[in-house]
């Protein structure tokens, strides 16, 4: 996307700055959201300050970077926190994000726990750390948007981490409403590789993920957290409760593996109502510093799959945490990212299409614990 002339936005719910008033003698209100809707340019510098919610987000531009300094408090209503499914209270954070001002498309999907940040300073983090484990050996990573386990999400498809960080797992309803300019594509944020993130109100751009055929396997399964233990039946068809219910089928939709698309010659990511909701990988180059902060596994520029410098090889446990989408403690060819994907056959000695810890460590020892080569 091009960079437009610098524009400054201050949205502040104080009576002095936004002119609180009434139309019919009812309670005073402000037009903060209307002010947002009248601003088209969030590619320049801007500032969001909302006293009623405590929001403080400021974006400035350098020659090479878009710098966002934020306390990560949302500028909109949220659900009640703590709640029965989410025992955490929202609290201010101290975050600085540096996005490339001139993003570089690479085209090699790089896993990202936190792929981007909304324009209001709230991070997108689509996946969860919740797992259903079965005594028969299967384990399934739980999706945030499902009906089996209450994770306390609010109407913005968001909830709160133990640190107090409010974050979006799906379409950020209030952000979409507040930043809507009347066009089909609503600019909602920036990915960590610098490319913009949008939401299509018409939903005409479809993801390329499909639910698997057949039924899940596993008996005597349960979900546990520090507050409860629940018996779970995982049997039945792949209905989207777990991340492993889906597979990427190239060309089956409009969007690529990272929920990205090129429109009028400009690459962008879309937040969608369908899985994966928010892309779980990036197609552009990310700085090493920002990559570590956002949990991004780099696979280019002499770096290993977890974004570390190439001289230090990640452990198999670290790779499992980053890439094991179905939580079976193995890495399939489709799950492998970056150099691990490119050199998968070197590791997969029994040619069964899966990489085990033993195969990974044996290949690493044979190569003197050097990281997978970059082609």
Mean pLDDT confidence for 267-287? 96
369 or 49, which is more confident: 49
> CA 300, 306, 309, 315: dihedral to nearest 10 degrees?
-130
* pLDDT above 70 coverage of the chain, percent: 79
Query: What's the Cα-to-Cα distance from 339 to each of 32, 43, 291, 318, rounded to whole Å?
Result: 47, 33, 16, 15
Whole-prediction pTM = 0.73
pLDDT in tens, 256-276: 999 999 999 999 999 999 999
For the cut 80, the answer to whether the pLDDT of residue 195 exceeds it is: yes
Q: 245 — phi, psi (to 5°)? A: -70, -15
What pLDDT was estimated at residue 34?
Answer: 36
Q: How far apart are CA 238 and CA 253, in angstroms?
A: 19
* pLDDT above 90 coverage of the chain, percent: 64
Average pLDDT, the chain: 82
Mean pLDDT confidence for 354-358? 85
Mean pLDDT confidence for 195-205? 98
For the cut 60, the answer to whether the pLDDT of residue 36 exceeds it is: no
Sorted by sequence, the CB contacts under 8 Å of residue 362 that are 6+ apart come out as 349
What pLDDT was estimated at residue 340?
Answer: 75
What pLDDT was estimated at residue 41?
Answer: 82
Domains contained in the chain, CATH given: 15-296 (no CATH), 297-375 (1.10.238)
* Alpha-carbon 365 to chain mean position: 34
Q: How far apart are CA 59 and CA 119, in angstroms?
A: 9
What are the tokens at 202?
A: 């018409």
Residue 39: pLDDT band with limits 50, 70, 90: low
C-alpha gyration radius of the chain: 22
Residue 301: pLDDT band with limits 50, 70, 90: very low
What pLDDT was estimated at residue 184?
Answer: 97
pLDDT in tens, 142-168: 999 999 999 999 999 999 999 999 999
What pLDDT was estimated at residue 344?
Answer: 83
What pLDDT was estimated at residue 136?
Answer: 92
What are the tokens at 308?
A: 């570390």
Query: Hey, how many other C-beta atoms are within 10 angstroms of the C-beta on 335?
Result: 22
What are the tokens at 279?
A: 């892309």
What are the tokens at 287?
A: 């700085």
Q: Are 119 and 47 in contact (CB under 8 A)?
A: no
What pLDDT was estimated at residue 328?
Answer: 76
């Amino acid at each position: 996307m091009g960079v437009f002339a610098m524009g400054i936005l201050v949205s502040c719910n104080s009576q002095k700055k936004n002119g609180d008033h009434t139309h019919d003698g009812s309670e005073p209100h402000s037009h903060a959201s209307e002010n947002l809707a009248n601003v088209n340019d969030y590619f320049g510098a801007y500032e969001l300050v909302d006293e009623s919610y405590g929001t403080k987000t400021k974006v400035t531009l350098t020659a090479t970077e878009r710098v966002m300094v934020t306390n990560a408090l949302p500028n909109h209503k949220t659900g009640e926190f703590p709640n029965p499914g989410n025992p955490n209270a929202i609290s201010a954070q101290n975050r600085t994000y540096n996005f490339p001002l001139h993003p570089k498309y690479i085209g090699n999907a790089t896993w990202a726990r936190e792929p981007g940040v909304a324009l209001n300073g709230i991070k997108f983090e689509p996946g969860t750390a919740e797992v259903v484990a079965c005594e028969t050996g299967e384990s399934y990573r739980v999706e945030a948007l499902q009906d089996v386990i209450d994770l306390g999400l609010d109407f913005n498809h968001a909830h709160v981490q133990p640190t107090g960080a409010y974050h979006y797992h799906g379409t950020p309803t209030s952000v979409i409403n507040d930043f809507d300019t009347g066009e089909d594509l609503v600019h909602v944020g920036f990915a960590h590789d610098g490319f913009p993130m949008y939401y299509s109100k018409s939903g005409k751009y479809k993801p390329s993920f499909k639910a698997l055929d057949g039924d899940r396997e596993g008996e005597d399964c349960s979900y546990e957290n520090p507050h409860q233990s629940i018996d779970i039946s995982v049997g039945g068809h792949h209905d989207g409760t777990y991340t492993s219910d889906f597979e990427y089928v190239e060309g089956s939709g409009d969007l690529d593996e990272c929920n990205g698309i090129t429109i009028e010659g400009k690459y962008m990511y879309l937040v969608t109502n369908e899985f994966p909701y928010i892309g779980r990988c990036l197609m552009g180059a990310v700085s090493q510093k920002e990559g570590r902060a956002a949990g991004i596994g780099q696979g280019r520029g002499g770096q290993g799959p977890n974004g570390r410098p190439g001289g230090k090889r990640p452990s198999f446990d670290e790779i499992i945490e980053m890439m094991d989408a179905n939580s079976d403690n193995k890495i399939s060819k489709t799950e492998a990212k970056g150099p691990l994907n490119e050199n998968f056959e070197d590791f997969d000695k029994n040619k069964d299409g899966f990489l085990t810890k033993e195969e990974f460590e044996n290949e690493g020892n044979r190569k003197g614990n050097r990281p997978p080569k970059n082609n």
